[in-house]
């Protein structure tokens, strides 16, 4: 039986990845600081512990897993990574996790390891025009991410690639672009735009009003989590190391995203723009490299994933209110 280790298995994407690996017949060990917030983990072995602790990391990497996925990070949406307050935690915690996990995997003679980087590592100067952002993989340098979160991702990408270059490991590095879907943070401060807007629309009256940070003209693309997992597995099992974008290229403004969610909800929603953290003006996944290297790119329309996500968040909200 093939074995897999998922670091960050108590999180959003890690939870979905564990489920998919179990469907494929893997024996899976999940590791996280906490159990999953919204679902019972399907991992065969779920270990709660801190990947900043090198002793703990050596204990959980106790065999030559066939596949190792490193998704654990101290992260959140704009309200978490752009305020500045969490910068030291983000840099220290995530970098320490990556240093520990990668080195322990190397010492266990694990051959191949996946690392989830982020589109936040792209230079801010290429993302000032909301209609024409440049997020081609080779546009990463000269580096100028707009957040410490992006700098840590860039550092860690390079860390994984050095273990490939100097120590004979095989790294697979993906740059995720705004992943969304059910069973992810939707309240509490770490949620991202799609989940936050679904929650606001679900909580609003009909007709009603919601607040959006900034003028709502900033653009992004959003990838449904099932496609993210599919791209992750394809990359991991390919001969291509990356870094490569895993994202949707269906770019929308935040105002359009809100309008789409209101339409799914069947509500008439007015938008009130208020000051708040926003990040770059424009960002979109450039999918030419993934298409040419893996012969695949995500293709599901944004609306399809949003319908599922909205339905899940509306249910969560209702059951929270009923408590």
- Supply the DSSP symbol for 182: T
155: number of Cβ within 10 Å: 17
Q: Which stretch binds ligand NAD (CB under 6 A): 9-17, 203-211, 265-273, 282-290?
A: 9-17
Instruction: Give yes or no for a contact between 91 and 154, defined as CB atoms under 8 angstroms apart.
Output: no
What CA–CA distance (Å, rounded) separates 59 from 267? 51
- Is 234 or 269 the residue whose CB approaches ligand NAD more closely? 234
3-state secondary structure (DSSP) of residue 253:
strand
- Is 269 or 316 the residue whose CB approaches ligand NAD more closely? 316
The H or E element containing residue 171 is strand 170-176
- Is 13 or 269 the residue whose CB approaches ligand NAD more closely? 13
- Is 75 or 261 the residue whose CB approaches ligand NAD more closely? 75
Considering 69, 115, 122, 149, which one is annotated as catalytic?
Answer: 149
The least distance separating ligand NAD from the CB of residue 179, rounded to whole angstroms, comes to 4
Instruction: Give yes or no for a contact between 137 and 286, defined as CB atoms under 8 angstroms apart.
Output: yes
Quick check: is 125 catalytic? no
Q: Nearest-CA neighbor of 97 among 189, 4, 8, 5? A: 8
What CA–CA distance (Å, rounded) separates 63 from 66? 9
93 binds ligand NAD (CB under 6 A): yes
32 binds ligand NAD (CB under 6 A): yes
Binding ligand NAD (rule: CB under 6 A), the pick from 13, 110, 154, 202 is: 13
Binding ligand NAD (rule: CB under 6 A), the pick from 41, 98, 100, 118 is: 118
- Is 71 or 257 the residue whose CB approaches ligand NAD more closely? 71
97 binds ligand NAD (CB under 6 A): yes
The least distance separating ligand NAD from the CB of residue 134, rounded to whole angstroms, comes to 18
12 binds ligand NAD (CB under 6 A): yes
Q: Which stretch binds ligand NAD (CB under 6 A): 10-18, 254-262, 268-276, 287-295?
A: 10-18
Q: Restricting to residues 258-317, name those near ligand NAD by CB under 6 A.
A: none
Instruction: Give yes or no for a contact between 252 and 214, defined as CB atoms under 8 angstroms apart.
Output: no
3-state secondary structure (DSSP) of residue 180:
strand
Beta 27-32 vs 3-7: how paired, if at all? parallel
Tallying the residues shown for the chain, one arrives at 323
Phi-psi region at 298: left, alpha or beta (left = phi > 0; alpha = psi -120 to 50): beta
Q: Restricting to residues 36-75, name those near ligand NAD by CB under 6 A.
A: 50-52, 71-75
11 binds ligand NAD (CB under 6 A): yes
Q: Nearest-CA neighbor of 93 among 152, 36, 145, 34? A: 152
Q: Restricting to residues 174-203, name those near ligand NAD by CB under 6 A.
A: 176, 178-179, 192
The least distance separating ligand NAD from the CB of residue 266, rounded to whole angstroms, comes to 27
Binding ligand NAD (rule: CB under 6 A), the pick from 4, 6, 10, 201 is: 10
What CA–CA distance (Å, rounded) separates 130 from 124? 12
The H or E element containing residue 46 is strand 45-48
The residues of the shown chain that bind ligand NAD, judged by CB under 6 A, are 8, 10-14, 32-34, 50-52, 71-75, 93, 97, 116, 118, 176, 178-179, 192
Q: Which residues are catalytic?
A: 149
């Amino acid at each position: 039986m093939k074995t897999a280790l998922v670091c960050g298995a108590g999180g959003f994407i890690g939870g979905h990845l564990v489920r998919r690996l179990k469907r494929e017949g893997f024996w899976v060990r999940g590791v996280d600081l906490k159990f999953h917030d919204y679902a019972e983990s399907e991992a065969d072995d779920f270990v709660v512990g801190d990947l900043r602790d090198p002793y703990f990391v050596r204990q959980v990497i106790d065999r030559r897993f066939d596949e190792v996925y490193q998704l654990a990070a101290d992260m959140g949406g704009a309200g978490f990574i752009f305020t500045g307050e969490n910068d030291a935690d983000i840099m220290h915690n995530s970098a320490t996790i990556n240093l520990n996990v990668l080195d322990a995997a190397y010492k266990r003679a694990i051959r191949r390891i996946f690392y989830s980087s982020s589109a936040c590592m792209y230079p801010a100067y290429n993302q000032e025009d909301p209609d024409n952002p440049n997020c081609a993989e080779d546009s990463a340098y000269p580096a100028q991410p707009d957040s410490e979160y992006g700098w840590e991702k860039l550092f860690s990408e390079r860390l994984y690639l050095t273990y490939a270059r100097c120590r004979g490991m095989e790294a697979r590095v993906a740059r995720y672009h705004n992943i969304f879907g059910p069973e992810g943070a939707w309240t509490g401060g770490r949620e991202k735009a799609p989940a936050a807007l679904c929650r606001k629309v679900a909580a609003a009256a009909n007709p009603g009003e919601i607040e959006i940070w900034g003028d709502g003209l900033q653009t992004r693309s959003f990838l449904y989590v099932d496609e993210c997992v599919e791209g992750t597995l394809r990359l991991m099992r390919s001969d291509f190391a990356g870094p490569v974008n895993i994202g949707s290229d269906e770019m929308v403004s935040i105002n359009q995203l809100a309008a789409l969610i209101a339409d799914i909800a069947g509500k008439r929603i007015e938008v009130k723009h208020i000051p708040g953290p926003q990040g770059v003006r424009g960002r979109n996944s450039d999918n030419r490299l993934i298409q040419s290297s893996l012969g695949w790119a995500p293709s599901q329309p944004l609306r399809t994933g949003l319908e599922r996500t909205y339905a899940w968040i509306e249910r969560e909200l209702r059951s929270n209110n009923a408590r």
